[in-house]
Structure 1
Amino acid sequence: MTSPLPVHAQPAAAALLDQSLGRLARSIAGATGVFDAHGLDFCCGGARTLRTAAASAGVDAAPIVDALQALQARVAANQEVDWATVPSDALIDHILVRYHAVHREQLPELLRLARKVEQVHGARADCPQGLAEHLAVMAQELESHMRKEELVLFPLIQRGQGAVAAAPITVMRMEHDDHGAALHELARLTDDFTPPRAACTTWRALYAGLRTLRADLIAHIHTENNILFERFAPAAVH
């Protein structure tokens, strides 16, 4: 039986409970991971509401709603702050939580979905063959990049040694260019993140997640290149 939700959360929770799994998977980045963790079929069962799907699966809907609301809140909170005015230590904390941690959540789930799409629909001419392999390479390169920032560059800045950070910043900017090229290839493989008309819910959720990844990674690179890095090693104007 589904546990009753707190009174203050009921209106927002009801709005989520009465939406279909397919719609939630498309509209909330990271929702597919939540559904998968709770054993909800958002692909073939994508037309069912969250309320119905949870009841049918015999799982408590409240933690699922909480997780979906947390995903929504994370996006909303990021839209309210002018990060150009935030001190460097706080900006680094924001980058670690909003981008590094989020990419580490996004990529394994997107890779899982891509492998499923290629496995199930590999015979179709419009199947994005090679997408999973490309995402795996992106994940490896992005993880290496973030670890360099976490172990080398960010500690330099946090110790007040930003004046000697020009060399690692140059390397990070070059790797950002590589990430940009990887995003262009991602768009090519997915027809600019446009699923075929007959695509299943998993396929559509994959492309919606990839669009979110692209937006997040672009914002991540912008926040570092144009805000944090400019404070210590301004880019040459050309």
Structure 2
Amino acid sequence: MNLMDQSLGQLARQIPGATRVFEAHRVDFCCAGNRTLRTAAAAAGLDAEAVAAELQALQARGAQVDEPDLRQFSDEALVELVLNRYHAVHREQLPELIRLASRVEQVHGDREGCPHGLAEHLNTMAQELESHMRKEEMVLFPLIVRGQGARAGMPIGVMRAEHDEHGAALQRLYELTNDITLPRGACTTWHALYAGLKAFRDDLVTHIHIENNILFERFAPAAVH
């Protein structure tokens, strides 16, 4: 099949490094991974053939990209990865980001480019993400680990819908921070905040990608459009 007619999720699963290409072009491959490359590129005003060419180049040297093939992970190993690498890390990241954002807003509230409302937005994200992760930990993941993933269509649908909400929250975060871009003369705390936001953004995007495009696809494949 032509790469342009495959879904972003399929491409992200199959081509090592594809996620970096999508990130560079600001193409949502985690929450909207069921769109074809052709559809997603058209919506973003991108040249689909040029993006496909980048992916083909990655395919050609795929064995040289030092990334684990998550498709080869067992269900249990994927769940363990999500819990240890993403759930635990988000719970460490967000309280510190909220603290830093509050500090920047308090000290630099009169400066142009100050991310007013960021601390409140991060606090809301933290609450929603915590609720989401607890549902996975208490309901969905135990089903999968017990080998009952085929019965998990309904909770998977709920988790995918909540992932879409997390994606919308990330878009709002970009709006508040000018795409996480520091203003000239930003202080050390501001630098630390935006570095932390970028790490959190990258982790959350990868977290959702692993669930939507790899783990959930094993039990409730999303329709490609």
Q: Normalising to structure 2: TM-score of the pair?
A: 0.70
Q: C-alpha distance in 1, partners of 2:117/2:211?
A: 30
Q: Which residue of 2 aligns with 1:50?
A: none
Structure exhibiting the larger radius of gyration computed from Cα positions: 1
- What's the C-alpha RMSD, in Å, of the aligned pairs? 0.9
Q: Which residue of 1 aligns with 2:207?
A: 220
Q: C-alpha distance in 1, partners of 2:69/2:83?
A: 17
1:230 aligns with 2:205: no
- Residue of 199, 205, 212 corresponding to 2:192: 205
Q: Which of 1 and 2 has higher RCO (CA within 8 Å, sep 6+)?
A: 2
CA deviations over 1:166-191 (Å, ceiling 9, x no partner): 00000000000000000000001000
Offset of residue 80 of structure 1: 4.0
Q: Which residue of 1 aligns with 2:139?
A: 152
**Residue identity opposite 1:176 in structure 2:** H
The runs of at least 4 consecutive aligned structure 1 residues that moved more than 6 Å come to none
Q: C-alpha distance in 2, partners of 1:84/1:186?
A: 31
Identical-residue share of aligned pairs (%): 71
Q: C-alpha distance in 2, partners of 1:80/1:234?
A: 24
Q: C-alpha distance in 1, partners of 2:67/2:109?
A: 42
Q: Which residue of 2 aligns with 1:176?
A: 163
Offset of residue 125 of structure 1: 2.8
Q: C-alpha distance in 2, partners of 1:107/1:83?
A: 26
Q: Where do 5+ consecutive residues of structure 1 fail to align? A: 1-78
Q: Which residue of 2 aligns with 1:129?
A: 116
Aligned residues: 160
CA deviations over 1:101-126 (Å, ceiling 9, x no partner): 00001001101100010111112232
Q: Where do 5+ consecutive residues of structure 2 fail to align? A: 1-65
Offset of residue 205 of structure 1: 1.1
**Residue identity opposite 1:230 in structure 2:** E
